[in-house]
Amino acid sequence: MNTGPAEGPGKRSGLRLAILAGAGEYPAHVARNARAAGAEVYVAALSGAANIADFPGCDAQEYRLGQLGRLLDALKRREVTDIVMIGALPRPSFGALAPELSTLKYLPHFARAFQGGDDHLLRGVVSFFEGQGFRVGSPAEMAPEIVAPLGALGRTVPASVARDALLRGFDLLAALSPFDIGQGAVIADHRVIAVEAAEGTDAMLERVATLVRAGRLKLGKGDGVLVKAPKHGQDLRVDMPAIGPDTVARVAEAGLAGIAVRAGGVLVGDRARLAAQADAAGIFIEGVS
Amino acid sequence: MNTGPAEGPGKRSGLRLAILAGAGEYPAHVARNARAAGAEVYVAALSGAANIADFPGCDAQEYRLGQLGRLLDALKRREVTDIVMIGALPRPSFGALAPELSTLKYLPHFARAFQGGDDHLLRGVVSFFEGQGFRVGSPAEMAPEIVAPLGALGRTVPASVARDALLRGFDLLAALSPFDIGQGAVIADHRVIAVEAAEGTDAMLERVATLVRAGRLKLGKGDGVLVKAPKHGQDLRVDMPAIGPDTVARVAEAGLAGIAVRAGGVLVGDRARLAAQADAAGIFIEGVS
């Protein structure tokens, strides 16, 4: 927090915030919260991922990745000081950037960032905006209520078999951290069933559902946990793992008992709605410290 | 080697070996080799996995898992001293064992073994046969030529991008070892693309092919490696990772540059045939120390 009075509504007054918005509902959450706190919000919606119609009342424009030069001009014209990047992005291919003339000069910075894992790419994006004089903030700071709290989100709590599984799962994710993967895994039947890498959480959960349907995984009562956590050293400003209604639906469909997330380290969006959905499905969502 | 003269053909003469045969071609390889070396071979073909027709000239019978008591009687009648377990098994469900009366008394031993990862289950099987007085040997000892040698199996060798990837892959598998998974992973595009858990290597390779087809993974020339290695402390007598013609075909289909295996730690079956297939597909198979 670098502006305005420290407490109460209006604590962000005077803040000129740009939200670089990807897909999903999180960008709109952050925009609403920041505006409610008094910030002036400009939304740069990534073409094909976010839609400016989801930001009613906001100053919002759509950009392609190749329009970075144009975006910088808009940010400077609006005297934006802070940037938050939020929402899902398809991993872009460098060749498909289709840069405009005003963007070409920035390409060398990104050419290197593309040579590596997602972490590396996102660090490159953060360092780029910081190099242009912006502060890059975390969505959790702008909208703390969209992050997983400690303990059960709904009424269901993990049984002891699931508690054992989730602890093993967090250990596994920690071991995977140095390899720039390891945001998700499924533990059930006293073993590691699936590890998430480039395919993403949804595809991993579908795989688990397939194993269950094929009889290759038998789930006892209360067994089966999806674990999600940030990597050690992950930059939570730009790369916080997330769960949402789709995750809950897929976990329920796979027959798993619940979801365990690192408290304070995973986006959950609208907590009350997610809790209600989990309760209805009979699955737990547990924030673990 | 616990029997017979140490050198040359006939070095296994006097050895009474039982091969507990699962699916695939490895059991027949081991049977041929052991017989060529002079051993008396009895084949217990696991029903639904192995077929006694694949062991011409061998004393061979088919067994269900639930016929363990009957199997033990047969082994003792034949004065079998050594056992080799080889070939792929579907992970059995304890409930589906359908034990015969003569098998019931052995069930408590296995009930515990079923509570854990594959490692744990296989250790339970080994300790069971050892407890019955048999020596459990390794397939590699009976047929060393079916294990991956050091260096290139065919004419193709990994480019430097693939060499970097395979080293990273072996590091990843080592980190996964304590979690009773980690026999396979795919590294490409300077990142970890897929990690194998309960789905198996084939399903993992299909997933990678899907990512490539969807444009979510771009493979540069010479890039993309499947790595396979045993876990630290893995009992190579009963649980050696394996590659075969299917693996080579799927690696080629996914567009990967090659396969890296731990030399001496991964079954490759008929080396010459696999090398010819890899050469025809233009992929490398590299044994790494």
Give pLDDT tens digits for B217-249: 999 999 999 999 998 877 888 878 889 999 999
The pLDDT of residue B231: 85
| C-beta separation of A12 from A4 below 8 A | yes
Banded model confidence at residue B2, pLDDT cuts 50, 70, 90: very low
Sheet of strand A40-46: strand arrangement: A59-63, A40-46, A16-21, A82-86, A135-137
Banded model confidence at residue B250, pLDDT cuts 50, 70, 90: very high
Which runs of consecutive H residues, i.e. helices, occur in B177-233? 201-213
d(CA B215, CA B88): 33
Neighbours of B269 (CB within 10 A): 20
Contact criterion met (CB < 8 Å) for B192 and A211 = no
d(CA B161, CA B249): 21
The pLDDT of residue A109: 73
| Mutation choice for B interface testing from A97, A114, A179 by most B CBs within 10 A | A179
Contact criterion met (CB < 8 Å) for B216 and A179 = no
CATH 3.40.140.80 range(s) for chain B read 147-288
Banded model confidence at residue B79, pLDDT cuts 50, 70, 90: very high
Whether chain A has a CB inside 8 Å of the CB on B191: the answer is: yes
| Identity of the amino acid at B239 | D
B194: chain A residues, CB-CB within 8 Å:
197-199
| Residue whose token pair is 């090659």 | B258
CATH 3.40.50.20 range(s) for chain A read 16-142
CA-only gyration radius of chain A, Å: 20
For chain B, give the mean pLDDT.
Answer: 88
From the CA of B197, how many Å to the nearest CA of chain A? 5
Closest partner residue to B190 (CB to CB) among A117, A211, A217 is: A117
DSSP A267: B
Whether chain A has a CB inside 8 Å of the CB on B219: the answer is: no
Phi, psi of B223 (to 5 degrees): -100, 155
For chain A, give the mean pLDDT.
Answer: 88
d(CA B11, CA B30): 15
The pLDDT of residue B262: 95
Contact criterion met (CB < 8 Å) for A90 and B199 = no
The answer on pLDDT for A108 being more than 80 is no
List beta partners, residue A136. A83
The answer on pLDDT for A182 being more than 80 is no
A127-175 tens-digit pLDDT = 889 999 999 998 888 888 889 999 999 999 999 999 999 999 999 999 9
More confident residue, B180 or B51: B51
| C-beta separation of B113 from B121 below 8 A | yes
Contact criterion met (CB < 8 Å) for B197 and A195 = yes
The pLDDT of residue A93: 63
Q: Which CATH class is domain B16-142?
A: alpha beta
Banded model confidence at residue A232, pLDDT cuts 50, 70, 90: confident
The pLDDT of residue B97: 66
B91: chain A residues, CB-CB within 8 Å:
216
| C-beta separation of B266 from B234 below 8 A | no
The answer on pLDDT for B204 being more than 80 is yes
d(CA A30, CA A270): 11
The pLDDT of residue A119: 62
Both structure tokens of B184: 């396979």
Q: For the structural domain made of B147-288, what CATH number should be given?
A: 3.40.140.80
The pLDDT of residue A241: 87
Instruction: For residue B36, give every residue at least 6 positions away whose Cβ sits within 8 Å of its Cβ, in sequence order, or none.
Output: B9
Closest partner residue to B194 (CB to CB) among A117, A175, A197 is: A197
| Lowest mean per-residue pLDDT among A100-104, A250-254, B48-52, B235-239 | A100-104
Contact criterion met (CB < 8 Å) for B192 and A181 = yes
Burial of A227 per CB tally in 10 Å (0-12, 13-18, 19+): buried
Whether chain B has a CB inside 8 Å of the CB on A123: the answer is: no
| C-beta separation of B75 from B135 below 8 A | no
Q: Tell me which residue of B199, B62, B158, B95 sits closest to A212, measured CA to CA.
A: B199
Closest partner residue to A172 (CB to CB) among B117, B179, B215 is: B179
| Mutation choice for B interface testing from A93, A114, A199 by most B CBs within 10 A | A199
Whether chain B has a CB inside 8 Å of the CB on A152: the answer is: no
DSSP B53: G
Q: Tell me which residue of B125, B139, B136 sits closest to B32, measured CA to CA.
A: B139
From the CA of A255, how many Å to the nearest CA of chain B? 16
Closest partner residue to A197 (CB to CB) among B192, B198, B218 is: B192
Neighbours of A280 (CB within 10 A): 11
The answer on pLDDT for B288 being more than 70 is yes
The answer on pLDDT for A114 being more than 70 is no
| C-beta separation of A136 from A123 below 8 A | no
ipTM: 0.77
Contact criterion met (CB < 8 Å) for A191 and B117 = yes
d(CA A184, CA A170): 9
| Mutation choice for A interface testing from B120, B187, B191 by most A CBs within 10 A | B191
A6-55 tens-digit pLDDT = 444 467 777 899 999 998 888 998 999 899 889 999 999 999 889 999 99
A172: chain B residues, CB-CB within 8 Å:
176, 179
| C-beta separation of B154 from B276 below 8 A | yes
d(CA B147, CA B145): 5
Mean pLDDT within B133-139: 93
The answer on pLDDT for A100 being more than 90 is no
Closest partner residue to B197 (CB to CB) among A179, A180, A192 is: A192
The pLDDT of residue B65: 81
The answer on pLDDT for A95 being more than 70 is no
d(CA A186, CA A227): 6
The answer on pLDDT for B4 being more than 50 is no
Whether chain B has a CB inside 8 Å of the CB on A116: the answer is: yes
State the DSSP H helix or E strand holding residue B41, giving kind and residue range, or none if neither: strand B40-46
CA-only gyration radius of chain B, Å: 20
The pLDDT of residue B116: 60
Whether chain B has a CB inside 8 Å of the CB on A180: the answer is: yes
Banded model confidence at residue B11, pLDDT cuts 50, 70, 90: confident
State the DSSP H helix or E strand holding residue B141, giving kind and residue range, or none if neither: helix B139-142
Both structure tokens of B288: 């790494």
